[in-house]
Structure 1
Amino acid sequence: MRHRTGFLAPLYYDELRPDHAPARSVVLVHGGSVTGACYLSTPDGRPGWAHTFAEHGYRVLVPDWPGTGRSTSLPPDEVTGEVVCAALGALLEAQDGPVVLVVHSMSGPFGFRLTATHGDRIAALVALAPGPPGDIQPEPTVLDETENDVEIQGLALRWRLPKHGLWWPSDAFARAKMIGASTRFPADAVASYSRQLGPIPAGLLAQRQNLRGSQLRGAGRFDGKPVLVLTGDRDTDHPRAADGATAEWLSAHGAEVTYRFLDDPEHTGNGHMLMSEDNSEALAELVIGWLDGVS
């Protein structure tokens, strides 16, 4: 099923239902340069995480951020993290009960903000290689700035960000950031995957990089909320210590945190796109097993 809502900013989402009455619902939120489609199928054509969750009895909602993917009626310069969180928060409020919220990468701070503001609507949070909240993310070094763009040094990558409109990913970005040092990304799909990546609203990307302290802050009490932070050991931009600091911040604010850095023999080799790699189904099963243990 496909839906378009009028929640504050237009929000498109897919809905998958299990064969029987669902035990609970999960909302799968994508990261930057991709859409919710990353959860529907893998780059090499296998069923994605959404189908695995539905097979395990979940009702699955897969939105596209306002201003991206199939929710593109909002002009890019009007898209901010606050706008995305408002639309996602309204989606959470429209559900019959609390949901499992899964966020990835650039949507990590959205998940932290929503857990602070809509904690009663979130049963558990799963943060896949999450960007850190503005509470702990350092500001990047500005290397160069013009009237139209600004160049910064991030944790692992150098970025030239436009000040307005859209930022378009390059093939080099796809290979360095999205695939990186992964040994799990389907080799035959690298070139086609790179061509399928989409743009990010400029202001939203500047927030993700915490340019001039603009990243969303998630400060609040998480009061025992179950949170799983899951990171691949070959993720170029998410070393163990970086996501470990995010896990520590969550714990300090009251969350019950499990941090899994995937360097055990069964799961090693994963990069940034955990839902797209050759062991994606096993990773979805890992998340579902964790949810079974905290429900």
Structure 2
Amino acid sequence: MNAYVSWFRPARARDVSVTFVHGGGGQGSEFLSTPDGRPGWVHAFLRAGFPVFVLDRPGHGRSHWREEVLGAALPPPSYEALHPRFVEPARHGGWPEAARHAQWPDHDPEAGDRFMASQGVMATTLAAAQRHVEAIGPDLFALTGRTVLVSHSAGGPCGWALAAIGGDAVAAILAVEPLGHPGLRHPLGTFADGLCAETPAGRHDPFGRPIAILTGEASWMRATNARAAAFLRERGCDVAHLLLEEHGLRGNGHMMMSEKNSDAVAALMISVLDRMLRPASAGSSGGNKRARSPDTET
């Protein structure tokens, strides 16, 4: 099974990298640039000295979906399904917090179309998506070395599953609006094993390193993320739940890496990550232990 990884290394690089794991039907390009053409989060982390790896999960972006390997895929998403939720939530009011959304780059009338053009097919179940990323996990960590996983949305469960494979190779996790909490019934599957759709294949504790969850003020993910953070705290994990409005970042929706204040969100993430990596014990498998039995393809 293949995935596509692009990487970038600053001239004076830190000894820990950052690996971006996209969500749903998205792709790694979401972190390279914004829909209105500004530099994306990759550039902010490079300026901060991190080597950066950008994963296109199996079947996404530059890793073409092959049904004979990955199984069936859902149809490509429609404008009617995604555009109101991600681009114009305040106009459509699909959830109470949607009225606060104010950060989509609407000064560029084509930004919404560019976002939609980046969205592709995805697995028919969350369990299948998890298995796909677990299959490429060992090769991914051989490439990244010790790394911080920055996951987004449906890439969140994939991030936990990767951490169970990577163990001490995963220094920290920044989970941006990760999908899932224990028992959540999603159209693509039930979260039957904590924050994953099925028990991770890796033998390490998925949550045994510093974790930060980021949630936007105008997102429908607020309750889900709060329940995920509570689950981690109950396990005794090292976790912080960052509500962006409490840090002066107002009006963000689910695609905060694409929004007008994306640079400010990245700056907050980097400052939090600096604190997470500061202790000498960073990178060790702390927290509540639960043992579990150039561009390239990996």
Scaled by the length of structure 2, the TM-score of the pair is 0.66
Moved more, 78-87 or 216-225: 216-225
Unaligned runs of 5+ in 2: 73-122, 278-298
Contact 2:57 2:133 in 1 (8 A): no
d(CA) in 2 for partners of 1:265, 1:121: 30
How far the C-alpha of 1:139 sits from its partner, in A, is 2.4
2:242 aligned with 1:242, yes or no?
no
**CA separation in 2, counterparts of 1:254 and 1:114?**
20
Q: Deviations over 1:59-107 (max 9, x none)?
A: 1000111011111153252652233332441244304632000100001
Change (3 A) 1:97 1:265: closer
Deviations 1:166-185 (A, max 9, x none): xxxxxxxxxxxxxxxxxxxx
| SS of corresponding position for 1:58 | coil
Deviation, structure 1 residue 232: 0.2
1:137 and 2:119 equivalent? no
- More RCO (CA 8 Å, sep 6+): 2
Q: For residues 280 and 217 of structure 1, what CA distance do their matches in structure 2 show?
A: 33
For 1:103 and 1:50, how far apart are their aligned partners in 2?
13
Q: Counting strand residues as a fraction of each chain, which structure ranks higher?
A: 1
Which of the numbers 45, 61, 67 marks the counterpart of 1:69?
61
Matched, 1:97 2:148: no
Deviation digits for residues 10-45 of structure 1 (CA, Å, limit 9, x no counterpart) = 111111111223432110011112210000000110
Structure 1: distance between partners of 2:144 and 2:243? 33
Q: Cα RMSD (Å) of the superposition?
A: 2.6
CA distance in 2, matches of 1:265, 1:50: 21
Question: Aligned residue for 2:273?
Answer: 291
Instruction: Answer yes or no: is the 8 Å Cα contact 1:52–1:284 preserved in 2.
Output: yes
SS at match of 1:264: helix
Q: Structure 1-normalised TM-score?
A: 0.67
Which residue of 2 is the match for residue 125 of structure 1?
A: 173
Task: Provide the aligned length of Structure 1 versus Structure 2.
Answer: 217
Task: Report Cα offsets for 1:126-152 as digits up to 9, x if no partner.
Answer: 10000115xx13325xxxxxxxxxxx5
CA distance in 2, matches of 1:129, 1:292: 20
Percent identical residues: 38
Cα pair distance change 1:210/1:77, threshold 3 Å: farther
- Asked if residue 28 in structure 1 is aligned to residue 12 in structure 2, the reply is no
1:226 matches 2:210: yes
1:210, 1:139 → 2: CA distance? 7
